[in-house]
Amino acid sequence: MASTVEIDSAEVVLARGSLTIDLRIEERSIAEFTVIDPDGSLSYQKGQPVLIYDVTDTLIFGGVIDNPEKFVRAPAGGLHHPIRCADWHYLADKRLVAESYLAAGYANVGAIVTDIHTKYLAGEGITIGNIEAGPAILEAVFNYVRASDVLDALAEKAGKIWYIDEYKALYFVDRNTTTAPWSATSADMIKGTAHWSGGNPKYRNRQYIRGGKGTTAEQTEKFIGDGKQFAFTVGFPFQKVPTSVTVEDLGAQSIGIKGIDETEDCYWNKGDATLTFEVAPLATKEVTVVYYGQFDILVLAEDAEAIADQLAIEGAGTGYVDDIADEPKLDNKDASIDAAQAKLVRYAVAGQRFKYHTLRTGLKPGQLQTIDYPALGLNSAEMLIESVVVRGFGAHNLHEITAIQGPTMGSWSDLFKAFAHMKTEIIERLNVGTEQILIILVDIDVAWSWDEDIVKKVFACPVPSVTLYPLGTLYPC
């Protein structure tokens, strides 16, 4: 029995050897095949549902047509329809998420994923397979971001993987949650196909995070007017409307937004450090500004053990491998540090990759498989299945398995997507000009010392009795 393909619940006839399915975690899986249309009566459109069953009649792919084509068969006549399909991740790609989450309302990352499912994905027919709680999160803001990108970001922060399976079920789980149905040994592999490679091109053991704007403690700054100066520059750009502005002898001043309001005593703008008065404060008069400022966030997290291991490998130097990531939506230092540490958990590991071909069925991306291949140094190694490529050959399907330890590498399409994001990032980082601010982290060791005097008032606690009553100087326990 060969694999079967259904389009809109109707089984189609495939050209021999045309079926290829590339299943991957955390990105779109694809399927490609060619439909034989002897009388030229068939027609296909983007978005039509597709189901593919393997030789054991088990569903192995579910998704939609992504790119239909057709051409005339020669010399037999009729049409051929080359079809390219995207899996159910397509449903997460086409929805935009506009939400803000605070720890007060959402205890953990899993609660956020569940809310996104409820509001955006359930209506697309996606059910919940397994959503694990994950760590607590301080704040998450998504400003019209694709649901798939939102899940990517949450999975990285939580150290999880996510996928939508062939049954439209959403999973957000640890790497070791789903166990493969069988362990792999050389007996399961087609001879000559086993291949091991090491190294992790995404490796880093020191992670910088360049965040957004943090908020200072409340600041109080004083100035002296001269009767001519209208504008006063404070030490930090304003984060929000100043708490108060007062002028000696005049008291509290009304505050408006610069460029919008017109009848106030003074004006401010977020991100601007200058406060402008409608009338210049008189000479010798004190101006007091109480406000919250903003500052650029740059944090660094290190994996000391990974640095030591890398130094031992390199033999000299520091052992440092640096990386920087931009998280402009993070406006809290602690959240930025959490983001840096999450990246180290994901990427500060020595990666390895193992590929093999098999005729056995049942493996899916996201499963944890035990692999025993001593000749290549794998002794009951637990590895995450990153991808499964299925190729149809008559009554048999060939399965090309890629299992990993370390971060996923992704496909070419994933690489090109990263390049697209990288373009603006590189331009921003290479920009040179007077308007750019360069933040340099400096390690400072500070010794703190203090003296403390404690006055403790001790009260006696007599044992109560029928003749013992509290007095003005007697305190019962």
CATH assignment of 4-87? 2.30.300.10
CATH architecture of the domain formed by 92-173: 3-Layer(bab) Sandwich (3.55)
Q: What is the pLDDT of residue 128?
A: 97
Q: What is the pLDDT of residue 419?
A: 40
- Smallest CA-to-CA distance from 401 within 432, 367, 435, 428 is with 367
Within 8 A by CB and 6+ apart from 371, the residues are 183, 184, 185, 354, 378, 380, 381, 382, 383, 403
Q: What is the pLDDT of residue 77?
A: 82
Chain region(s) in the chain for CATH 3.55.50.10: 92-173
Within 8 A by CB and 6+ apart from 10, the residues are none
Global pTM value = 0.64
In sequence order, what are the beta bridge partners of 218?
292
Positive or negative, the CA dihedral 226, 231, 237, 239 is positive
CA–CA dist 187, 190 (Å, integer): 8
Q: What is the pLDDT of residue 403?
A: 93
What kind and span of H or E run contains 428?
Answer: helix 412-430
Q: What is the pLDDT of residue 405?
A: 83
Q: What is the pLDDT of residue 257?
A: 94
Q: What is the pLDDT of residue 418?
A: 43
Q: What is the pLDDT of residue 467?
A: 55
Chain region(s) in the chain for CATH 2.40.30: 184-202+350-410
Q: What is the pLDDT of residue 138?
A: 74
3-state secondary structure of 409: coil
CA–CA dist 141, 144 (Å, integer): 9
**pLDDT tens, residue by residue, 317-359:** 999 999 998 888 777 788 888 889 888 988 888 888 999 999 9
CATH assignment of 184-202+350-410? 2.40.30
pLDDT lower than 70: segments of the chain = 1, 104-105, 393-395, 407-477
Q: For residue 74, give the DSSP letter.
A: T
In sequence order, what are the beta bridge partners of 426?
none
Q: What is the pLDDT of residue 397?
A: 86
In sequence order, what are the beta bridge partners of 32?
20, 84
Chain region(s) in the chain for CATH 2.30.300.10: 4-87
